[in-house]
Amino acid sequence: MDTFSKTITTVSSSDRENPFIRKIPMSETFPATLGARASSFLVDYILVLLILMVSISVASIFKSAAPGLAGWIVTLGYLAALAFVVWNWGWMCVREGHTIGQRLVGLKIVRADGAALDYRTILLRHLIGYPLSAICAGLGFLWMVIDGKQRGWHDKLAGTIVVKG
């Protein structure tokens, strides 16, 4: 693997707005591999499923005695899972630069222009970029294999890169 140059190439202000042209001002960092990124996503996904599993298991205990309560428990489980997703993929990404899974694997999301992550970037990456990457039979995610900086379509769209560290 090669390291990124410590020098930042200057681009015009109009080019800075285009995430496909941005230069990545990183020093001594390496892009995360597809395997590491898939592992971190799997950890995050398992945590969401764990919340749902616990709520459904508790609801099944009350199902015969209090079906109304069981329904509320399942609904609360789905709401808790949704709250966790918003917290983990939204707030944690903006505040810390990673999800829980990325933290455990040792990855971090950074903006390609070196600026701090914001909610607009994260929403663009996760709510538009992920579905776009998945809609074409996962080609947007597999794009990381042939991209020099290991960026998927969601990364290119949002102007981010996932790095080790």
pLDDT of residue 1: 46
Left if phi > 0, otherwise alpha if psi is -120 to 50, otherwise beta: which for 48?
alpha
pLDDT in tens, 14-26: 555 555 555 555 4
pLDDT at 44: 98
Helix (H, G, I), strand (E, B) or coil at 104: helix
Counting Cα atoms < 13 Å in the Cβ hemisphere of 133 gives 20
pTM greater than the 0.75 cutoff: yes
* Percent of the chain predicted with pLDDT > 90: 73
pLDDT at 27 over 80: no
**Look-up of token digits 């590491």:** 36
